[in-house]
Amino acid sequence: SSGSRNYYPLKEQNEIYTNLIENRIDASIMDTGILQYVTNTLYCDLTLVGATFNPNVYAIVIPKQWLYTRTMDVQILALKEAGFLNDLITKWFQGQTCSDSSSDSSTAISISSLAGLFLTFLVITALALLLFLWTKRFTIKDYLRRTEFKKKLQRYFKSK
């Protein structure tokens, strides 16, 4: 990167959110579950972009060589098969407490950005039309001369 820093190491998760809101950083990569919860409940001005790496991965921290590890694995699998884990994921990670207006503004295209697009289209269309007329100028001149000449002849013969 020729000496320029294009990454900023941050020590706390709150730093990530405040730096994103204050435009000090442009993007951040984190766990999907955390970001879904934070963007849907705490930081409504932020949004998730792109596909997740693995949306089905959530972790539970336990001590090494814990006596109940196997029992817990079996119970978690039973909860997953019963659909209870999906209900929890929907409730806590995908449930939205932010108002709808902020979520709409994050994905909506503003009128000013569309106006720029239409202005660009209009300019390009005008340039294309001018280029077409310029390349056909001799044909157009000949046509106009012939029609003008015909009109003059018709006026001449009508007058006699």
Radius of gyration of the chain (CA): 33
pLDDT in tens, 71-128: 988 988 898 889 887 887 777 666 666 765 544 445 567 777 778 888 889 999 999 9
Helix axes 137-159, 111-135, angle to 10 degrees: 70
Distances (CA, A) of 52 to 31, 36, 104, 135, 151: 9, 11, 21, 52, 72
Q: Is 3 left (phi over 0), alpha (psi -120 to 50) or beta?
A: left
Instruction: Output 4 or 155, whichever has higher pLDDT.
Output: 155
Residues 23, 12: contact at Cβ < 8 Å? Answer: no
Dist CA 6 CA 117 (whole Å): 30
